Amino acid sequence: MSDLGRILIIFGIILVVAGFVVIVLARMHLPLGRLPGDLTWHGRGWSVSFPIVTCILLSVIVSLILWIIGRFRP
């Protein structure tokens, strides 16, 4: 049961860090979610967004970070 607690704490820390990153990016006025290639449809009282390019960009960044961390691990 203590392993489950550790996993939940790690996920909580990851969510807090992700929240801070989102806040910082919003204050820097980076257009994540509004990049060329992100699809958005608007209707009467609704909208649907598919941030395809944003997801690809974030995936590449996370992959590079994990690759760099993996290179320095014994």
34 in the Ramachandran plot: left (φ > 0), alpha (ψ -120 to 50) or beta?
alpha
Q: What is the pLDDT of residues 6-59, one digit of tens each?
A: 889 988 998 998 888 888 878 888 777 788 989 999 999 999 999 999 899 889
The encoded tokens of residue 26 equal: 């919003």
The whole-angstrom separation of Cα 49 and Cα 35 is 12
Give the predicted TM-score (pTM) of the model.
Answer: 0.62
Q: Place 1 in a pLDDT band, splitting at 50, 70 and 90.
A: low
Question: Cβ(36)–Cβ(57) under 8 Å?
Answer: no
Rounded Cα gap, residues 65 and 26, in angstroms: 21
Tokens of 31: 């257009």
